[in-house]
Structures are given as structure tokens and as C-alpha cells.
Structure 1
């Protein structure tokens, strides 16, 4: 029987803690014999007990001296340290994840110490960078390394990140770097040599990429079916006189669409119905809470929340909430109970086809799972890959659509302008085509502006595999030296909101910035100030899938409904202390938070009304 995470972690650390004390004790006893002296117990006992703490501080001091020397040799400097105790930093990070605004602690530190800072989480050093030049190579310092692009090979997810995420993501595409044993029987022409040479993530992308072609992601039948069900549920609840949780509504739409795309069958979350607003007096039946899709979604969400909490303790996360029990594994087990039968069925179906000589050619598969089993039959790889893609397929577009509605409710003039473009390009009814989507320039600008201010993944990280030099935005100062093994956090949400990168109106929601002169002034010369889907070799494969899915849903929503409003009585209000904060945090109408992705705590409760002939007449008169 395996030990719980906490005791197992302590057992691994035992030699690390015991060896210095044992070594010192042996040295003292040998010294007594060699020098014919007797050392008092009051000296031996404290010295032995303090050996490890003393060595820890000496090692830490030595490491800082070594790093400072290496920086000097490379004509660079170390990022300034956050002047807070380790415990204070950990506490702030934990509170930020549990109850705070996304990346607000990192913004606080940047305001105090600059756009590049470093801090310690117990025994490990971490760097926070707000500089887009560190996400990409600097144009000026052409020989310097960068996190995602030209010196991509200098960075990896790192062992700490993979350890934190393993219970939820396993060895899926979002949680692997390199060396990993692959037990596969692959009867196709994929070169698996890179799986053993340190590029496991390429294997995952190689077996997934062919299914994200234009033809695949432009087949909108899946969107149409689930969108109609979703808006139908909304109409019924609104006719009953209740507001709806739009975040819950679109999470069901994206989950059903993602599972249908991945598995060829839907989890059926929309068939369970949607919740009533809190304090409304109306309650869903017990069957609602027991519905398999709701059990799946609850585990899905709780698994992400508990995984995110591990961030604050770094490599020592087993000493936190997971000390006596891995609290994420039970959530993953619930998720696997849904995917397992589908995976087994796909494997059996493949064997049957091969036995009967009916193998399908590349690109003929109906669902991504059917495509994956043609490339690997390793259950572990399949299981992990499906969960990873589910996280991306559901949460990214759910976040985009949720905050799209939030911005429409706050900006009625934008709602009208979007609807005008939809009526011009698509019409008052009917589904948009791929070509029509490409013609809707304002729609794309609107989605980009939502992604800028509310990126689905507000915080990302990499670990340096080797010493790295990063440019200093102040060209009069030396560049930054990043030692090997350093965790480098880059809060996308903060980079997207910097006024020096986006202009003085950076905190104003304005889609026109992606269409007018500001596009060429700010974004075109510095494209890495906008990276909601990551960048470089590991850029999100489903980027266009998310754009298409969100565009399709918004077109159908704006064709059928109008007068979007927030239900202040049902939404969870932000804490009072947020009102005194600078930036968007001080003006939010809802409680914005994040786990692996951004979301609104308590849901986004809204009202809207179905469009009628009178609405059309009034629009034509304007």
C-alpha cells in the first residue's frame, strides 16, 4: 500500500535532513577519540540537531553568492528579491489562489520591485517576469534566450510543475517535457525516437495535430446541436422568470461539444438541465445533482481548484492540504470512469476493423479518440491525453464566452455593433459559415479584447534547464541572469493590461484597438504582448477551434436574444476591499478568480430577452 503524499515526501527528504546530523555526530565522536577529549552532551546535542538548518542556510547563502558571481561573469545582474519572508510569500500566494484576484500578488510585487523579481518558495527560487521580451527573444539582444520562442529549448515545464499536476493531468500534452517511457504498439509511420530523446511533448502534438485541420474545426454541426440545446434551456428558464447562470450554461455547451468532438458521443450535461439562482426559492430535483454529467463536472472543477492550491508550496506541496491524502486523485478517478468505457470501446472497435480488414485512412476518423487509437494503444497515454484535451476544450472557450457576456452586459453599444455586423454578414437567422466568420472583423476584435483583459490561463510558467540571460527593458542597465533550475512565472493577465505596452487606455474594454492605429502602434511591432493561447512551438493547437466555437455561439446568441444584464442580486459581489484597488480589480461587478483557468466565483447570473419583431423594427429605425 502506497504511503500518503506527505509521509512519502518526508521519507524522501529523510536522508537530506538526517545525513548532515549523522555526519556531524560521527565527526564529533571521532574527534573525541583522535584528540582524547570528551565533548559535553549540551554541545553535541544542539550541534547535531542544528546541523541541517545550519547547512541549509549556508547552502542558501553559498547559492546566492554563486549566482551573483555567475551573473557578474556574464555581465548581468540577478533580479531583485521580494523583501518578504518565505512564510509570508507562501501565505500570500496561497491566499491569492484560494480567494484572491488572478495574479494580484505578483502585480503587487511588480509595483514594488519592478517587472522582473525573484522570491523563494522554501528551498527553490522562482522568478516572475512581466516582460513580453522574456516570452520571446529581444530584438535588441538577439543572442539572448527566451521562454517560449527562439530559446525554447532552454526551458521546460520542470519537475515541480509536473509533480503538482500529475494527479490531474498525468503525462498528457500539458504536463510533459521530455524523457518518458512509451509503451505503444504503433502500426503507423510516426517516428517515436523523440519520445526517448527528451521530446515527449512532440509525440502528443504529433498524434493530435492532424485532427485540428481547417476541415475538422470548420465542421459546425457539433456547435449547432449543442448551441440550440443550450439557448433552448436558457429561453425556458427565462420564461419562468428566473435569471440564468451563463457561466454554467456555456460550460455545459463547451463540455458537450468537446466530448462529442473527442469521443464521438456527448456527456449530455445539457440534458441534466440548468440550476436555479440562489435564494430564488426554486430548487432543482435530486436527479439534477445526481446526473452523471454534473458528477463529472463537479469532479472536473474541484480537481482543478485543488491542483492550483499546490502552486503556493512549490516542490513541497505534499506538506499542504494533500499531506494525508491525495485530494486530486479521487477527482481524476471520477473523470476516468467516464472516459474509460469510451476508450475501451474505441480500442475494441479498432481491433475489430483490423481483423476484418476495414482499417480507415488518416483523416477518415469520426472522432479524435478514434484517431488517437490508430496511433497508440497505450491506455495510460490515451487516458491522460483525453483528460488534458478536455480541460482545454471545455475551459478555454467557457472562459472566453463567460467574459464575453460580461463585457456585453457592461457595454450595450458593443452589443449593438456586434449584432449589426452579424446581420450584415450572416443574417437575422441561420448559422455562420467559415467564410462569414472570417469576414466578421469586429467579432474577432471583440474576442481578442476579451482574451486580452481576461485570458483563460492568466498565469503560466516554465523552468530553466540551463543558465539563461534575459534582456532588461531598461537598456542602460545590465540584463538579468537566471540560474538553471529556476521556475519562471509569466502572468499573461498582467502583461495584457500594462499601459506602457498597450497605451494609456489599456484598462478600457475597447475592441477597436485591434482594428485602428493602436494595432500598428503597439501590437504589430511587439506581438508577444498578446499571447492568450501561449506562443512558440507549444502554442495551443485548439486556438482556431476556440475562436470558431465562441464565434458560432455568440452569433446565435445575438440573433436570438438582446438586452443583456447582470443579475446583481444573484451574483456574488467582490469583497469590499477590492473597491479600493487599482485597475480592473477595483471596478469588477463579479468575483473574478482562477484555478488552472479563469472563472467567476458563484457563476455569472444574467437576464436577457428574446428578440421579437418589435426589436427588429426599432433596430431598423436607428
Structure 2
């Protein structure tokens, strides 16, 4: 290293670093008195500022280890200014009472020392961090001796490490000013990484040793645990380090992930939030460095950027650790190595992770230098390419049968992620999926492909045989998975949409009685809300007005759903404001069991809420099931009704035919019955075609719960099976499948012509049946369950699944079809025609945010008279 690169250490006095903790101890040890705050606040504040001034800034290891951390000093200031430390530092009752009762003396001194050492108190740390306590030692002096020798060992090693970093100017881990190719060799990176990992470990170990020594015996060892028990870098940051701050940053990252509409339950979503959390933490800590006076050598790189890159590097370390564990598990693994990894202390893992950080750091600077030398840049690109190939091979071993690979050219499939995010943000998801299958599909079964994204193997499919396997024939092999349950638990809880296994069965058993036939045939719940709806489709005097029926349908279906569930609508058509279900739940739970039994036995008093309350008094369980049914009963039905009006407003001939059918089955001035709705074939054809063209849930996913397979998509011809390892993501799309021309042909066996599968045409459902041989097998029962028979044409089994299929088939499909049919009949009993009131480029844009809706709404006008025909 050149002499000009060496910075002479700054000499300074150690005095303020010693006086700062002593002044805090004195403030906390003395009995509370009136002027305590006025005396000690300026003293502590002044010493705190002095420790970071140039004259007193000595970077020797002794100052860093003996002086109290500045956040502790700020914490003491806060409690002195705004409260009473004896009360506010402790969250549980006994230590607080003891602190208030203590007089000035050794016991109060030890209490204050313990309070400072643990920053907030042992009981507080236990409650916030949630780390289980360990078994207390039986003997006092051997335990103290052990803690002291461990403290001394950690001090010596930490002092050596800090001295190394001070000598080579790696202050606080990273100093960007000295990261160039001359100083950042591969061997230097390994040495720096070793020191960085161990430098973090040993001072924290000293902290816990000291806390044990000064704490009362009944609190040994400290309830917040021993750092050596953290068995991974992820657990270290997740359980032992600033848990209360981490939760705040995690909340910001969750909000950003939802704002960007990232799909929950995927590795990309999880790692995006991981990097964002650490980036926010890095920015916060980087800005904190500007609250401290710096010496003349510190630049922006030294102060802000060095801290920021350190935090982002720790996110990279966690990511790397997960990749190593993932690859090892996919290659088979052994129980012995698994046990060894779990027993391995944190220190070697931190060293390994920091090694990765340093190597990546070195690679960044190598790339910076390579830009100025083209041959180096070319070499660097080659290295990245082959590294990516090797990682993909390890994640998906070549011994298993795979689907056609979607090529990616950047690590972890970043280019594909950006590509798909662009299509999603521009509402072109259908184009994206169609492009994937067109470009990469293989042979005679081209509707399956796969890619590796951020360590996850993702299989995309629109093949009905594969979807059938996932949803039915291999139902137990696929599910929502623990990651999806964890990500959505706060909202969906233990409902049918987030659970697997026994939890899912129990939730489905709770909901099933809601949709008994006698409940669905009672149409009174629809009538009172359709009356309100039809009034809002016209002006005060009955004149035509422009309305966005998408907005009205979402409010209408919310009223119907809450009326059906709670026995009382929230009347959002009259007053479009959100209300909460907690009021309904609390009122129902206040009823006695015999009252609930009377209500559930009478049709007039029956509600889903009262039936649930009869089964369980757990408010959370009731809420979970209500949210599930409300979500399914509102959004999907409203979206489908919006698409029906979108299509009918552009096809006046269909409206005229529908009105003729309504007049044939329903007498003027009367409401339709359940039997009359089912008898209207053209009405059912319109609904079937809308659900085919615009399925409410256009894209869905499952996780492989065990090693399994898919029946098609592998091999050179696409007709061989695909091996599916545990935790593989299966993304399937009813939207693409139900628009396939090979499944919905334009020409039938008798030569009749129909528009292609991307054209809205209810007539296809009224064509005389052309029986498929596959309809004679067991799958035909699924078609009959969906309302099909052999008198009209019906699609092959598993090629029409707007309500999903298999054991998870939608329980409320008949309720939804009845609600939509009833609503359309009542609308077109009053209105003769409907016209579009939108520009062509605004119409029909598919917005796939869980539920498929028209992005720009559906603005139309309703007329009570037919349009006059010109002579």
C-alpha cells in the first residue's frame, strides 16, 4: 500500500467516553429528586456530543468497548426528559416495583448498570424480541467465572480485530475511500470478511456476558438469550438485533410490495421486501452519521455510502445463505450435515456471509475497472453467464424431466422479472402469458414452460391436463403452501383461501351449509338491492344518463353479500363508505346459544354469521371465514357483471334476443323465479361466454407440497411428464386456456362456423352437442356440476374452469350464477337497450389484480325504448 494511502490515527483523550456511562449510572442510581432532570440532561448531552468531536475522537478498540453506545445515552436522556426511568424502562410489574423501592446503594447501582447494559431491561427485551429464555444455572460463582472468562476472551479477540480495521482504515466495517483494485485483492477480501464477521460477533457476546454478570441471579442467563444460539444470519437479524426497529422497516417494505402489486407468496416478493428493509435501515443509519462531527478525512463515501452498502450487504448475506441451503436441499442433503449446520455457531456463518459480501464488493470494483478495458469486460460477462448456468443446473438437476426453459440472461432471472413487471404494469398480462407459450412451448403440447426466478423454479401452464393434475388427480401434492399462508395470514387468516390440509377442510366445512339449494333459491335477498340498482341506472325523471356500472356493481354485490352473510346490508349503494364487520360479530356473539339455534332454524332469521357463531365463539375464526366469503361473493361477481355489460353494450342484437327470452319466461310485472332463470338458455349462454372470456381469477398458483410430477410438457414432443420437486411454484392461467382455439374451435364436426376463441359469441353454447369421448369418463361429473348437459355443446372436461375445479371448486358458483342472472333479468325488464359511452381505446383493457376487471370501468347509458329504425 502506498504511503499516501495511510491516514495517521487521531489522538484524543479517553475521558468523555468514560464519564458518559458514569454520569448515566449516577443519574439512575441516585434517588429521584426534583432537579435530577435539570442537572443530568445537559451533562449527558454535552458528554455525548464531546465523544464525537474531533478532539475526543479516538478510534481505539478500548473506547468502542468500554464506552456506552450512543443510542443508550439517548435512551437515558429520553427517559429523564419525558418520564421516570424507574417506571418507564421496565414493562413488567415486579422489576418496576423493585426499582421504585430501591434506595441509593449497591443494589440500585447494579440495577442501573444492568439497565444500561441491556438497553431497555431484561424483561422488556424478552417481551419484544420473543427469544425463549434459557435454563438458569444452579451455582452462582462458577457461572460468574465462566461469564467473566468468556468476556475477557471476547475482549482480546475484539481488540485485535478493531486494531486490524483501524490500521487498514476499515472503520466500522467498510471504508469506500480505500476500496480500489490495489487494496481489494481476493485474499484481502477473505481476510477482511473474516474480521468483519468476527468483529460483529465478539462485542455482542461481550454485551451479553456483561449483562449476565450485573443482573440479579434469578435473571441468569438474560432472557433475551445467548448470541451463540442464533443458528443463522437470518435468525440473528430477525430475532436478536433491533427487533422493534426492524418491524417498522418491514412495514414500509410490505407497503411498497403491495403498492407495486408484487404477487404474494413468491420468493421475489420475499427477497424484495428483505432488500428494501435493509436499504431503508442503511439509509437511516447513513443519515445518522451526519449527526456526528467528522474529522477532515471523512467524505460522503466514508460516512453515508459505507454504512448503506454494509446494510445492503447483510441482505445479500441472508440471500446467499438461503441459496446455499436451497441448493444443498435440492441435491439431496444428509441429516448429518443438517444437524452440523444447526449446531454450528453464528460466528462462522457471519464470516462466511461477510466473505460473500466482500467478494461481491470486489466484483463491483472489478466491473468498474473493466469498463475501461473491453477485454476485461468481456471476460467478466463470460464469468457471469457460466455462473448463472451452473446455479440453474444446481437448482434444477438435469436428471429430472423439465418443461421448455424460458431463457434469462441476468442472475436470478432479473431480466424476466423486469419484463413481466412491465407487462403487468401496462395491463398486458394476457399478452405476456400468450407470448411465453408461443415462443417457448414445445411439440403438440406447447402450453407449458418454466423459468428459475430468484432461486425459485416456476412452471407456467395453460394445459388442461396439467391443471387437472394440480387441482384434482394429484390434489394432495399441491396446495397454497406455508409461504402463501404466512404472507396472507394477517388478511385471510385461516380461511379456505390461505390454508391446506385439516385447516382447509374445517374452513370449507364451515362454509358449505351457507350454499344449500334452499338458501340459493330464495331470491328475496337480491330483489331489494336490484330495485336500488336500477333506479341508479337512470336520471331522476327516468332519462338516460352516463353511469359507470363497474362501480355500481361492486357496491351492489357488497350490499347483497353483507345482507346474505349478516342479515343486514351496509347499503353502500346509498352511502359508498366502508364499514367494518366487527360490530356484526360482537352483536352476534352476545346472543345466547338457544337464541342462535332459533335463528338458524328459521329461514327468516338465518344468516351465515349466526350459523358460524353457533359453531364457534372464536371471533377471529368467524372473521376469517367472513372475509373469505365476502371477498369471493363481492369482487368476482361484480367483475363478471361488468364484463357482461361491456359486451352487451356493443351487441344490441344480443340484448334484443335476451329481452325476447325474458319475455317468454317471465310474465310482465313479475320477478323471475329460480326455475325460470335456469330455463333461460340464452341468458346462461351469455354468462358462460363471459366467464370463459373473462374468468374472475385469470391467474392462479399452487406450491408443490412434496416431490411429484405433471403429466405433460416434458420431452422433445411436449407429451412426456415433468418432474416437480417440493416447493416448486405452479402458475396456471384459466384466461389463456379458455381462449385457446384448439379447445374452442371455430369449426365444428358438422361444418358449422363460429368466431375464433377470442371473440365473444354466446351462440357456441347453444350449438347441438357433439359428444366427446372424454365426456363419458368420470370427468363428465365435473361438467354436470357446472350446469352442462348433452343437449347443447359443452367444452371438454377441465377446459372450462371459471370456478376452479376438483376439491377446491367454488362452493358459491350456483349462488353467483343466480345473482348475476337475476340482476341481468331485472335490468333488461326495465331497459330496452344499452349503449357504450367510452372511447374505443379505453374499452376492454384487462386489469389483472387478483380479480380480472375492466381497467377504465364500463361507462354506458340505458334506454327504456328501442332505437328507431331508419326507413
Q: TM-score, normalised by structure 2?
A: 0.52
Q: 1:403 to 1:547 in 2, by over 3 A?
A: same
* Structure 2 residue 855 is matched with structure 1 residue 601: yes
User: Offset at 1:220?
Assistant: 0.5
SS at match of 1:173: coil
Quote the residue 1:213 is aligned against.
516
Which has the higher mean CA deviation after the structures are superposed, 245-254 or 343-352? 343-352
Match of 1:97, SS state, is helix
Q: Which moved more, 1:152-161 or 1:258-267?
A: 152-161
Alignment partner of 1:540 out of 800, 805, 810: 810
- Change beyond 3 A, Cα 1:558–1:25: closer
Mark the CA change 1:246 to 1:390 in structure 2 (over 3 Å): closer, same or farther. same
SS of residue matched to 2:581: helix
1:168 aligns with 2:486: no
Question: CA separation in 2, counterparts of 1:547 and 1:28?
Answer: 56
Equivalent residue for 2:562, pick from 239, 248, 259 = 259
Pair 1:553-2:814 in alignment: no
- Counterpart for residue 482 of structure 2: 159
Equivalent residues of 2:683, 2:821 under 8 A apart: yes
Contact kept? 1:82, 1:117, Cα under 8 Å: no
Partner SS state of residue 758, structure 2: coil
Q: 1:364, CA displacement in angstroms?
A: 7.9
Question: Which consecutive residues of structure 2, in runs of 5 or more, have no partner in the other structure?
Answer: 1-243, 255-272, 279-313, 325-345, 364-382, 442-446, 747-755, 775-792
Return the match for 1:382 from 622, 627, 630: 622
Aligned to 2:459: 127
Q: Map Cα deviations across residues 84-117 of structure 1 (whole Å, 9 max, x no partner).
A: 5422222233333333134332222112111211
8 A Cα contact 1:133 1:528, kept in partner? yes
Q: In 2, are the aligned partners of 1:97 and 1:595 still within 8 Å (CA)?
A: no
1:188-231 deviations in Å (ceiling 9; x for gaps): xxxxxxxxxx3211111101101100100111111000001100
CA contact (8 A) 2:538 2:862 kept: no
Aligned to 1:529, what secondary structure does the other structure show? coil
Q: How does 1:440-451 map to 2 (within 5 A)?
A: 440-451=680-691
> How is 1:35-184 mapped onto 2 (pairs within 5 angstroms)?
46-47=358-359, 61=390, 64-65=393-394, 67-71=396-400, 76-83=401-408, 85=410, 86-114=413-441, 115-136=447-468, 146-177=469-500
Corresponding position: 1:269 with 2:572: yes
Shift of 1:232: 1.0
Q: Which stretch has the larger CA shift, 12-21 or 116-125?
A: 12-21
DSSP 3-state at the match of 1:174:
coil
| Pairwise CA distance, 1:120 | 2.8
Structure-2 change in CA distance of 1:64 and 1:428 (3 Å): farther
CA distance in 2, matches of 1:392, 1:597: 10
Shift of 1:461: 0.8
- Pick one of 652, 667, 670 that aligns with 1:430: 670
User: 1:438 Cα shift?
Assistant: 1.8
* CA distance, structure 2, for counterparts of residue 394 and residue 44 of structure 1: 49
Q: In structure 2, do the counterparts of structure 1 residues 108 and 160 end up closer, same or farther at CA, with 3 Å as the change threshold?
A: farther
Which shows bigger deviation, 214-223 or 518-527?
A: 518-527
> Aligned runs of 1:344-383 on 2, under 5 Å?
344-350=586-592, 353=595, 360-361=600-601, 366-383=606-623
Q: CA deviation at 1:77?
A: 3.3
SS of the counterpart of 1:119? strand
CA distance in structure 2 between the partners assigned to 1:545 and 1:364 by the alignment: 18
- 1:16 and 1:50, CA in 2 relative to 1: closer, same or farther beyond 3 A? farther
Q: CA deviation at 1:371?
A: 0.9
The reply on whether 1:395 has 2:635 as its aligned counterpart is: yes
Contact 1:79–1:481, Cα closer than 8 Å, also in 2: no
Q: CA RMSD in A?
A: 3.6
Q: Which runs of 5+ in 1 are unaligned?
A: 30-42, 137-145, 178-197, 273-292, 297-336, 575-588
Aligned to 1:142: none
1:327 aligned residue: none
The equivalent residue for 2:658 is 418
Higher Cα radius of gyration: 2
User: How far apart are the structure 2 equivalents of 1:250 and 1:25?
Assistant: 55
Distance 1:469 1:159 in 2: 20
TM-score by length of 1: 0.71
- Matching residue of 1:225: 528
Residues 59-79 of structure 1, C-alpha deviation per residue, up to 9 Å, x if partnerless? 9836634734441xxxx3343
How much has 1:44 moved relative to structure 2?
Answer: 10
- Residue 377 of structure 1: CA displacement? 1.8
Correspondence for 2:835: 565
Q: Deviations over 1:302-342 (max 9, x none)?
A: xxxxxxxxxxxxxxxxxxxxxxxxxxxxxxxxxxx611111
Q: For the residues of structure 2 that align with 1:69 and 1:111, how far apart are their CA atoms?
A: 24
Q: In the TM superposition, what is the alpha-carbon distance from 1:351 to its structure 2 partner?
A: 5.1
User: Residues 447 and 232 of structure 1: is their aligned pair in 2 closer, same or farther, counting only changes over 3 Å?
Assistant: same
CA contact (8 A) 2:317 2:353 kept: no
What residue is the counterpart of 2:289 in the other structure? none
C-alpha distance in 1 between matches for 2:836 and 2:449: 38
The structure, 1 or 2, with the larger RCO (C-alpha pairs under 8 Å, 6+ apart) is: 1
CA distance 1:214–1:50, shift in 2 (3 Å): farther
CA contact (8 A) 2:737 2:799 kept: yes
Shift of 1:475: 6.1
Give the count of matched residue pairs: 489
Q: Give 1:317's aligned residue.
A: none
Deviation of 1:4 after TM superposition, in Å, equals 3.3
How far has the Cα of 1:422 moved from its partner?
0.9
Give per-residue Cα distances to partners, 1:131-171, cap 9 Å, x unaligned: 011111xxxxxxxxx10011100100123333443343233
**Compared CA separation, residues 350 and 365, structure 1 to 2 (3 A):** farther
8 Å CA contact 2:544, 2:861 repeated in 1:
no
- Structure 2: how far apart are the matches of 1:602 and 1:93? 21
Q: Does 1:461 align with 2:709?
A: no
| Structure 1 match to 2:318 | 16
Distance 1:121 1:271, change over 3 A: same
1:400-430 Cα deviation digits (max 9, x unpaired): 1111111111221111111111111113332
CA distance in 2, matches of 1:567, 1:478: 50
How much does 1:14 deviate?
7.7
Distance 1:440 1:596, change over 3 A: same
